[in-house]
Amino acid sequence: MTRVISSVFSACMVALIVVGVATVHAQAPGDFAGEPDKSMATAHQSFVDGNMEKATANIKKAEGYVRKQEKMVAKSAAAGVEKAADDLAKLGADVKKGAVKSPDELKKTFAKVDHALASAWYATADAEQKAGKDATNSAKSAGAGLQGAAQWAGTKLDTGAQAAVDAVNTAGRGARMGADALGRAIRGLGDGIADLGQKIGG
């Protein structure tokens, strides 16, 4: 009986260790494929490690990327992206002077930044499709922002939003997607962005 209990305990400990490793890996910068998330992830890890100089530098790098996006999205959506860049600038300054005490403050800002990008690219994709243009790339950017925002917020997208993200990612890799299917995906992204915005206060 003792051996059985010992075996069960050992198995549970192994499972906990595996889960722990998976959790650490899920927070690693390598999990993010593109910017600004790669820079924000590096900033977050640097902050956790106590390297405020590196954290500040990577927040600045993310800010620069976001400011470039401001010039690429629809004019009607640019203000939200500008505010996101300003929020990163403020965060970087606060980290540099030691005013940020918890990595959760970084995560909260990063989630809102990604949500702002998702919202702006969604508006851009919606406008492009209504104008009869190919909105695939803009929709893919909206999906990336939405996925990143959910990750930083520590939540999962609902089934419809995740399906929309998967659909535009597949289309972005060269798969053909009809106008109707793309339209449904864009609407799904919009619903997901609205839902996540309520959760994070974006």
Give per-residue pLDDT as tens, 11-67: 444 343 443 433 333 344 447 879 999 999 999 999 999 999 999 999 999 999 999
118-130: pLDDT as tens digits: 999 999 999 999 9
Tell me the whole-structure pTM to 2 decimals: 0.84
| Cα 105 to Cα 201: distance, rounded to the nearest angstrom | 14
Q: In the structure encoding, which two tokens stand for residue 50, read together?
A: 């106590």
CA distances from 18 to 4, 7, 14, 21, 25 (A): 21, 17, 6, 5, 11
Confidence of residue 179 (pLDDT cuts 50, 70, 90): confident
Query: Can you give the residue ranges of every domain in the chain?
Result: 33-200
Q: Is the dihedral of CA 32, 34, 36, 40 positive or negative?
A: positive
Q: Is the dihedral of CA 30, 35, 37, 42 positive or negative?
A: positive
Confidence of residue 172 (pLDDT cuts 50, 70, 90): low
